[in-house]
Each structure stands twice: as C-alpha cells, then as structure tokens.
Structure 1
Amino acid sequence: MIVCHTAVKIIEPSLQYQQAYQHYIERLGDEERYPFVLDYDSTDFAQYIALMQDLKDGKVTGKVASSTFWLMDGEQILGVSNLRHYLDDSIREIGGHIGLGISPELRGQGLSKRLLQLTLDKAEQLGISCVHLHCYQHNLASNNMIRACQGQLDSVVEDASGTVINRYLITVA
C-alpha cells in the first residue's frame, strides 16, 4: 500500500477509531513497540483512551505529561507518536521528547518523517523550542529521519545495557 503524504493527518486518540487501533496493534505483531503508550492494555478501549487523556493532563504517577497522536489516512492508523511536554532528568539522558513508530508494512515510504514533522508542529504549539530526539545508533532509518527533519547530533551515550544512543536536537521555534 502506498500512501499519499498530503492526505495524512495526526489526531489525538479517539474512541471512534477502536477497530483501527486494534488493527494497528495486530500489524505490529511481536516486535518491540514504539512509542511506550502502545504497551498499555487496550482491551477496555474506553479506559485506554481515558489513560491517554490522563497522560496528557500529567495525572499518571511516574510519567511526565505527554500527548499521543495517531497518523491517519482516512480510517486507518499508519503510525503513532508520543510527545513529552517536558523532560525530567531520566528522559533527558535517554528518551527525549518524541517517540514514534510506523506500521511495518508501510515503512520506507517517508511516513516516519511526516509523522515527526507533524509532531514537531505540536511541540512548537506547546512552546517547546528545542526538541530532544534520541535513537539507537544502529537504527539507520531513525537516524536518517531525524537528520532529514533538521536534527543536529548533540551527543552519544550508552544505556545500561551498553547500547549506543545518538541524542539529537531540533530547534522548532
């Protein structure tokens, strides 16, 4: 399936798209999921949507406030992003402001770049002027996506397991 980038948009999670969300999760299969909000149980979908709102409102203990967005083409979810409204010390070190992922069968079409661009617009609307983006050094697609959106390599660190993380900055305002 080829997607027209001008037709896509991002929306906040909505009960209206329960079936589309379940289909998106099925398409991910057993792979590691990004962003972290995909790991929450969505069996009770109304409760899941309420949790997304609580995350946005900063009401979830142990989590910084964050907004989740779905990249949509009509009724289909193509990808998901999560934008942290601010960084605590832990996610400033490893994590950054934005995590995102695209459905496996749609990768390689530039949709991650489009999702990042749209999420950066949301960051600017929140008043975030310097966005921190982190990715594994070995993940060439993520590194290229960040660079394509004007990401400048700021530093390189290792996580607890020794995996190398590239930390980028993007100025949006």
Structure 2
Amino acid sequence: MAPVSRTPVSWGAVRLRPLRISDEQVVRAAHQAMSDDGFSFALGLTQGVAWSQYVSRLEDQRQGLNLPNGIVAATYLLATARDQVVGRTSIRHTLNDSLRRRGGHIGYGVLAQYRRCGYGTAILRHSLTIARALGIERALITCDDDNLGSRRIIESCGGVLESVESNTDGAIIRRYWID
C-alpha cells in the first residue's frame, strides 16, 4: 500500500467508479479491515461468494433486478484517489422503513489510513451529485451520534439535522437532510 499523505485533497481528486473484477483483493482487504471496526465496506460480501457473482449482484442491485426482501435499488461505487481505493459509497435510490431510521440514501466509508484528509467530504459531495442525477432531490444521511468525523462531513456538505433518535439496538442516530 502506498504511503498516506495527510495533505488535504480537493474533491476533484477523488473519483467514484463501479467495482471491477480486478478489485477483488483490495476490496476484500478493505472489507476485512473495516469489519474489525464494525463497518461493512463491501455490503453483502461473504467469505464463500465468488467475486464475479458479487460484482454481478451489485449490478443487478443498481438496476433494481432480483432484489432480496428488504433491499432497495442502490448504486455501490469505490472511491479512488491517485489509483488507490480510499473508500466507498452506496447510494440507495429509494428508502424503506429500515433505511428511514438508519442508513438513509447515502452510506459512505473511508479506510482508516485515509481519514482526516478530506476524502469523506469528497465522497459525500460526489454521491450527492449522483443522487440528484437519480432523481433524489432531498437526501437523508444518518450517522452514529458519537461519530464526530461523519457529523462534520455531513454538516459541511449542507446537512441539516432533523433529529437525534435511539435505535432499537440502543445506538443513538443523527438524521440529516441535504437539499
């Protein structure tokens, strides 16, 4: 892995793109690293699933095809900077009851070694642009109350706090809307 620069990045330096077959090793490593922190980097990826099947499933989900119960159409993209994977985003095209409580329209994550450099803000800004292109005029974004980094990112991108609520598992969730 390349050394990490703590120099703040411009949001133009970050690109969002679909997964490729060649991304397997880096995505599985990111998934493992983030799962140690309780965060799912590669949504729905399990040990036994073939990579090509996983990539195909994400494409189906983007198109709204063959969706399992409780899953909505969503666009899953990797965030890269200088050809390095720095994070990911998932842009849900619609909300179900569960996503209205926790998750919202956009869920993003930044790998630990790239945090506090502006990648999260760039990922969210790009995600909002894509959400608008999908017809989402007003995006719901949620984060854990104790996640100060995400709170700052969401607020810097125009997030207006709607509520702070306890979830069924006892977690306190902040719910923001961005127009």
TM-score, structure 1 as length reference = 0.89
Superposition deviation, residue 162 in structure 1: 2.1
User: How is 1:141-156 mapped onto 2 (pairs within 5 angstroms)?
Assistant: 141-156=149-164
Structure 2 residue matching 1:101: 3-state secondary structure? strand
Contact residue 19 and residue 77 of structure 2 kept, 8 A: yes
Deviates more, 1:5-14 or 1:124-133: 5-14
Is the alpha carbon distance of 1:35 and 1:66 closer, same or farther for their aligned partners in structure 2, counting shifts above 3 Å?
farther
Identical columns (%)? 28
Superposition deviation, residue 44 in structure 1: 1.6
Deviates more, 1:119-128 or 1:4-13: 4-13
Is the alpha carbon distance of 1:127 and 1:35 closer, same or farther for their aligned partners in structure 2, counting shifts above 3 Å?
farther
User: Deviation string for 1:60-94 (max 9, x for gaps)?
Assistant: 21201111011012432110110100011221122
Tell me which amino acid in the other structure corresponds to 2:51. Answer: F
Moved over 6 A (4+): none
Contact residue 88 and residue 110 of structure 2 kept, 8 A: yes
What is the root-mean-square deviation of aligned Cα atoms in Å?
Answer: 1.9
1:65 is aligned to 73
- Uncovered stretches (5+) of structure 2, i.e. residues with no partner: none
Cα distance in 2 for partners of 1:60, 1:71 equals: 24
User: Deviation string for 1:21-51 (max 9, x for gaps)?
Assistant: 23433543622124561x4126521111011
Mapped pair 1:85 → 2:90:
no
Cα distance in 2 for partners of 1:36, 1:99 equals: 11
Cα distance in 1 for partners of 2:42, 2:32 equals: 16
User: How is 1:7-156 mapped onto 2 (pairs within 5 angstroms)?
Assistant: 7-28=13-34, 30-34=36-40, 37=43, 39-41=44-46, 44-58=50-64, 59-62=66-69, 63-156=71-164
Structure 2 residue matching 1:146: 3-state secondary structure? helix
TM-score, structure 2 as length reference = 0.86
Structure 1 residue matching 2:72: 3-state secondary structure? coil
2:168 is aligned to 160
Cα distance in 1 for partners of 2:134, 2:153 equals: 22
Contact residue 35 and residue 99 of structure 1 kept, 8 A: no
Cα distance in 2 for partners of 1:167, 1:71 equals: 23
Count of residue pairs brought into register by the alignment? 170
